[in-house]
Amino acid sequence: MTLNLISEHASYGGWVRFYSHESRECRSEMRFSVYLPPRAEKEKVPVLYYLAGLTCTEETFIMKAGAQRVAAELGMMLVAPDTSPRKARFPGDDASWDFGVAAGFYVDATQEPWSQNYRMYSYVTRELPEIVQSLGPARMDRQGIFGHSMGGHGALVCAFRNPQQFLSVSAFAPISSPSQVPWGIKAFSGYLGEDRNAWKQYDASELIRAQRYARPILIDQGSRDKFLEEQLKPDLFADAVRESGSELHFRMHPGYDHGYYFIATFMEDHLRHHGRQLLT
Ligand SMILES: N[C@@H](CCC(=O)N[C@@H](CS)C(=O)NCC(=O)O)C(=O)O
């Protein structure tokens, strides 16, 4: 596999890098961004994956979330993949912003034609970590994952299904009960088909109801998020967590909306949350 360095930019004493490569799982070009903290020049560091939301790219997080300063201080590597394949094209894949291009929902699609390339779950949990390992300075025994909205859903699912791999998890405004909200129903019907049993493995509420997650889960939510009532429904997830006996730190922030001004405000708290699990 050839990794193509698209660009690099000095940042807080470390490096922001953008890469592209031919993906084994997605069978087309994929892109991701990386932040290497200064400490990575001298020793291996923990790695924290960030999954972005609908309409986002591998640039959104690294440009808007303001995570590099604290990642540099803590000595944590950041990795943010794109939200879907882009070069594999199918009819209707850009007809709406909540399905198809930039809306991969971090699942392995089973329905044609999406199943040919839309394999974001395997990409994030298997292929991307292999690539990260090949970069050199990542401690692969210290991986965490977080994300926003569709990416918050992805992060919770990846962590709950792979608790040995991802030792910490958090989310901003996640779609945490996708089987019960319009965004999730549309995506899962299209990518996974109509059998709702197949949806459970990608539904954070269903997954946590069936197991106790051993580490604290941090979720931040803005009260003025226009998607809160219809798409996010954090109460459903909180109920499921309660049933499982897991530890949820859910914070509702008055006045904040769904966007990156909200995310940037609480980014430091999330990085320190992951640092507490990973920097040991
Ligand atoms: N296009 C949508 C908004 C999509 C949206 O809010 N996307 C979120 C993730 S679900 C995001 O992070 N957008 C990128 C940004 O805010 O920079 C709309 O018209 O309401």
> What is the whole-number distance in angstroms between the Cα of residue 55 and the centre of ligand 1?
6
- pLDDT band of 32, cuts 50, 70, 90: very high
> What is the whole-number distance in angstroms between the Cα of residue 260 and the centre of ligand 1?
9
> What is the whole-number distance in angstroms between the Cα of residue 56 and the centre of ligand 1?
7
Q: What is the mean pLDDT of the chain?
A: 97
Residue-level pLDDT at 280? 82
Verify whether residue 189 is a known catalytic residue. no
> What is the whole-number distance in angstroms between the Cα of residue 259 and the centre of ligand 1?
7
Which ranges constitute the DSSP H helices of the chain? 60-64, 68-74, 120-122, 128-135, 150-161, 182-192, 204-209, 234-244, 260-278
| Pocket lined around ligand 1, Cβ cut-off 6 Å | 53-56, 60, 64, 97, 148-150, 258-260
**3-state SS of the chain?**
CCEEEEEEEEECCEEEEEEEEECCCCCCEEEEEEEECHHHHCCCEEEEEEECCCCCCCCHHHHHCCCHHHHHHHCCEEEEECCCCCCCCCCCCCCECCEECCECCCCECCCCCHHHCCEHHHHHHHHHHHHHHHHCCEEEEEEEEEEECHHHHHHHHHHHHCCCCEEEEEEECCCCCHHHCHHHHHHHHHHHCCCHHHHHHHCHHHHHHCCCCCCCEEEEEECCCCCHHHHHCHHHHHHHHHHHCCCEEEEEECCCCCCHHHHHHHHHHHHHHHHHHHCC
Closest residue by Cα to atom 19, ligand 1, is 97
The ligand 1 atom at the shortest distance from the C-alpha of residue 64 is 17
Closest residue by Cα to atom 12, ligand 1, is 53
Closest residue by Cα to atom 16, ligand 1, is 259
- Alpha-carbon span 36 to 85, nearest angstrom: 24
- Alpha-carbon span 227 to 71, nearest angstrom: 29
Q: What's the predicted TM-score (pTM) here?
A: 0.98
Verify whether residue 203 is a known catalytic residue. no
Strand partners, 202: none
Q: Kindly tell me if the per-residue pLDDT of 15 is higher than 90.
A: yes
Mutate to test the pocket of ligand 1, among 54, 225, 263 (most ligand atoms within 8 A of CB): 54
Catalytic residue, from 225, 246, 273, 274: name it.
225
Task: State pLDDT tens for residues 209-264.
Answer: 999 999 999 999 999 999 999 999 999 999 999 999 999 999 999 999 999 999 99
Q: Kindly tell me if the per-residue pLDDT of 277 is higher than 90.
A: yes
Nearest to 76 by CA among 145, 25, 172: 145
| Angle (nearest 5°) at CA 99 between 95 and 103 | 125
Task: State pLDDT tens for residues 132-185.
Answer: 999 999 999 999 999 999 999 999 999 999 999 999 999 999 999 999 999 999
- Alpha-carbon span 249 to 268, nearest angstrom: 15
Strand partners, 218: 170, 249
Please give the average per-residue pLDDT across 68-86, as a whole number: 98
Q: Kindly tell me if the per-residue pLDDT of 18 is higher than 90.
A: yes
> What is the whole-number distance in angstroms between the Cα of residue 61 and the centre of ligand 1?
12
> What is the whole-number distance in angstroms between the Cα of residue 233 and the centre of ligand 1?
17
- Alpha-carbon span 27 to 203, nearest angstrom: 25
Query: Token pair for residue 189?
Result: 């019907």
Verify whether residue 149 is a known catalytic residue. yes
- pLDDT band of 1, cuts 50, 70, 90: confident
The ligand 1 atom at the shortest distance from the C-alpha of residue 149 is 10
Q: Which residues, in sequence order, are CB contacts of 269 under 8 Å at separation 6+?
A: 218, 220
The ligand 1 atom at the shortest distance from the C-alpha of residue 226 is 20
Mutate to test the pocket of ligand 1, among 50, 55, 267 (most ligand atoms within 8 A of CB): 55
